[in-house]
């Protein structure tokens, strides 16, 4: 993508050598270095670095908050964005669900962290719209591929490190190393102190947590009727309330409170008061039907599934889930085991099979179960959801995991309209 920039010796910048010409400068990144000769051969106006172009996009005129971690990035980013807007700040947010500015959707879903120049372009738009803050999710792929190069973060946040994406990073050790490498510099950072795998530069480090001593420490909480949490900060006590559910959201919300407090310097009491206005993210712990109780959640990792199912463990659960194709194979048996251990009945189905055989993905999931014969196997996701809904009785809850607010099912390279929430609503209306 060529981006026009006014008042420069060149007219455009690009990160793709194929787009280079006499009026287009090539921004040399960690990812496109191998195309440098191609850019020169095509007569690129000049070769420039991300640091050279960052000020041209206004990166030095906005506070960028970057969030990484296996789970909770979108939720924490959305909570920060919501609290900032509630407190009267102008803010933008970029992540798995798209690009948002001052409460409007500017662009829909793309990558969790887009390419370097796409992020720069979003920041440029945010600066032009008068935003003081730009909240962005930083995936592990983005860290390896330096998609956030040249950004001087006002704050970096670590939610947690469990297992995902080993198809890309190959070993858990490497994945953990990549996540932690984001926190090796001396910049301001906010770390989940209860994450034992966190390893960070202690300079300018702030922490949050519920179990270990932390700068923002949850000293008491209640999960009855939403979340209430008491946070201790330098000896003072502050309380927030939220309509959200699940202990894991105590972490996401505490991180958001601490982050907003750290970047704005606003009164912590006012920050806590603004938490209640955040209702949560579409497709995460979303109650699709109250009676019967049916919940949709985006859990697509072993830990995500454990967190969600533990949050609902007062109830007997019928759990419908699969695992994405062309993604970490080694998480599949672990997901099978989590479901088997926590659910009353498990329905194993397809998620986004992509180029893989759905039966083979299901076999990987069943491979982690002690009693695979007890699971219901139905590769057709709609049929599996229907089976769970008709098998449900009494107070049991149906929990449909993995796709959250996704609106498509990806089979090979085609996207077929599929929204778990709509499927559930239509099945319930047929009864
Ligand atoms: C595995 C992976 O992450 N691949 C990403 C990677 O692809 P690649 O290395 O094959 O790219 P490439 O075509 O060689 O291009 C690399 C660079 O060289 C440049 N180029 C390319 C060709 C050329 O002739 N000249 C040239 O200069 C390109 O403009 C680009 O800047 O770089 C591309 C450009 O930045 C990404 O679009 C692509 O993401 C693919 C589409 C993808 O599906 N990525 C997923 C797995 C991903 O990134 N997911 C994460 C995590 C999700 C989460 O857990 O939330 C995400 O952030 O979304
Ligand atoms: N703090 C947390 N710890 C563990 N699991 C969590 C946490 N927050 C959310 N989850 C689980 O992970 C799922 C995804 O949450 P969210 O979208 O916020 O994460 P994410 O890190 O942005 O994921 P992705 O990398 O896929 O974009 C939720 O639906 C929930 O099941
Ligand atoms: N950001 C995650 C989302 C996974 C969602 C799940 N439905 C799947 O397709 O595996 C990924 O791309 O790995
Ligand atoms: Mg996300």
Is 104 within any annotated ligand binding site?
A: no
Distance CA 292, CA 347 (A): 18
Nearest to 142 by CA among 255, 230, 66: 66
Nearest atom of ligand 3 to the alpha carbon of 402: 7
- The answer, yes or no, to whether any atom of ligand 3 lies below 6 A from the CB of 403, is yes
pLDDT band at 359 (very low <50, low <70, confident <90, very high): very high
The pLDDT of residue 1 is above 90: no
Residue 392 has pLDDT above 90, yes or no: yes
> Is the CB–ligand 3 distance for residue 95 below 6 Å?
no
Start-end ranges of CATH 3.40.1190.10 in the chain? 56-277
Check whether 59 has a pLDDT greater than 90.
yes
According to DSSP, residue 383 is labeled H
In CATH, what is the architecture of 56-277? 3-Layer(aba) Sandwich (3.40)
- pLDDT surpasses 80 at 120: yes
Ligand 1 centroid, distance to 165 Cα (angstroms): 15
Per-residue pLDDT tens for 419-428?
999 999 999 9
Q: Could you give the CA distance from residue 218 to residue 393 in angstroms, rounded to a whole number? A: 37
pTM for this entry: 0.96
365-393 burial code (b ≥16 CB/10 A, e <16): bbebbeebeebebbbebbebbbbbbeebe
Kindly list the protein residues whose Cβ atom lies closer than 6 A to any atom of ligand 2. 69, 71-75, 96, 112, 137, 159-160, 248, 251-252, 284, 297-299, 303-304, 307-308, 404
Q: What does residue 6 show for φ and ψ, rounded to 5 degrees?
A: -75, 160
**Helix (H), strand (E) counts: the chain:** 14, 23
CB neighbour list of residue 7: distance below 8 Å, 6 or more residues apart: none
The answer, yes or no, to whether any atom of ligand 3 lies below 6 A from the CB of 188, is: no
Dist. CA 346 → ligand 3 center (Å): 20
Residue to mutate, 74, 98, 137, 324, ligand 3, most ligand atoms under 8 Å from C-beta? 324
Strand partners, 242: 227
Question: Given this model, what pLDDT does residue 110 score?
Answer: 82
Question: How large is the average pLDDT for residues 363-378?
Answer: 98
Shortest-distance Cα residue to atom 8 of ligand 3: 324
pLDDT of residue 22: 97
Q: Average of pLDDT values for 196-217? A: 98
pLDDT at 431 over 80: no
The answer to whether the CB of 249 falls within 8 A of the CB of 257 is no
Q: How many angstroms separate the CA atoms of 314 and 328, rounded?
A: 31
CA distance 13 to 117: 9
- Predicted pLDDT at 217: 98
Average of per-residue pLDDT across 51-56: 94
Q: Considering the chain, what is the average pLDDT of its residues?
A: 97
* Homologous superfamily of domain range 3-48: MurE/MurF, N-terminal domain (3.40.1390.10)
Report in angstroms the alpha-carbon separations of 406 from 68, 108, 335, 378. Answer: 21, 11, 19, 20
Structure tokens at 111: 């990558």
Q: Is 354 annotated as a binding residue?
A: yes
The domain made up of 286-430 has a fold known as 3.90.190
- pLDDT tens-digit profile of 299-347? 999 999 999 999 999 999 999 999 999 999 999 999 999 999 999 999 9
pLDDT at 248 over 90: yes
Domain with CATH 3.40.1390.10 in the chain: 3-48
Q: Kindly report, residue by residue over 123-177, the tens digit of the pLDDT.
A: 999 999 999 999 999 999 999 999 999 999 999 999 999 989 988 999 999 999 9
């Amino acid at each position: 993508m060529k981006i026009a920039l006014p008042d420069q010796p060149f007219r455009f910048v690009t990160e793709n050598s194929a787009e280079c010409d006499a009026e287009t400068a090539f921004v040399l990144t960690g990812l496109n270095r191998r195309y440098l000769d191609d850019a020169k051969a095509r007569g690129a106006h000049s070769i420039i670095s991300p640091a050279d172009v960052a000020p041209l996009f206004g990166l030095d005129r906005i506070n960028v908050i970057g969030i990484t971690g296996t789970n909770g990035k979108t939720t924490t980013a959305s909570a920060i964005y919501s609290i900032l807007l509630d407190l009267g700040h102008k803010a933008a947010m970029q992540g798995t669900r798209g690009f948002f500015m001052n409460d409007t959707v500017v662009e829909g879903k793309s990558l969790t962290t887009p390419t370097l120049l796409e992020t720069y372009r979003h920041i440029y738009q945010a600066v032009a719209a008068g935003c003081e803050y730009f909240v962005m999710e930083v995936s592990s792929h983005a860290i390896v591929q330096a998609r956030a190069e040249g950004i001087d973060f006002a704050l970096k946040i670590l939610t947690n490190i469990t297992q995902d994406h080993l198809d890309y990073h190959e070993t858990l050790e490497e994945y953990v190393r990549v996540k932690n490498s984001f926190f090796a510099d001396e910049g301001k950072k906010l770390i989940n102190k209860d994450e034992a795998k966190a390893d960070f530069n202690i300079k300018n480090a702030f922490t949050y947590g519920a179990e270990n001593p932390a700068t923002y420490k949850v000293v008491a909480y209640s999960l009855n009727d939403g979340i209430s949490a008491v946070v201790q900060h330098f000896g003072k006590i502050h309380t927030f309330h939220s309509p959200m559910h699940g202990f894991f959201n105590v972490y996401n919300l505490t991180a958001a409170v601490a982050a907003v407090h750290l970047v704005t310097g606003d009164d912590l009491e006012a920050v806590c008061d603004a938490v209640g206005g955040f209702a949560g993210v579409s497709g995460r712990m979303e109650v699709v039907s109250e009676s019967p109780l049916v919940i949709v959640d985006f859990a697509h990792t072993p830990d995500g599934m454990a967190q969600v199912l533990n949050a609902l463990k007062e109830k007997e659960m019928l759990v419908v889930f699969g695992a994405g194709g062309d993604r970490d194979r080694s998480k599949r048996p672990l997901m099978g085991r989590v479901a088997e251990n926590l659910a009353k009945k498990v329905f194993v189905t397809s998620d986004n099979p992509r180029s893989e055989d759905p039966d083979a993905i299901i076999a990987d999931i069943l491979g982690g179960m002690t009693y695979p014969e007890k699971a219901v196997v139905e590769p057709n996701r709609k049929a599996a959801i229907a089976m769970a809904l008709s098998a449900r009785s009494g107070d049991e809850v149906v929990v449909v995991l993995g796709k959250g607010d996704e609106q498509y099912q990806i089979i090979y390279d085609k996207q077929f309209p599929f929204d778990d929430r709509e499927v559930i609503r239509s099945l319930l209306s047929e009864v």
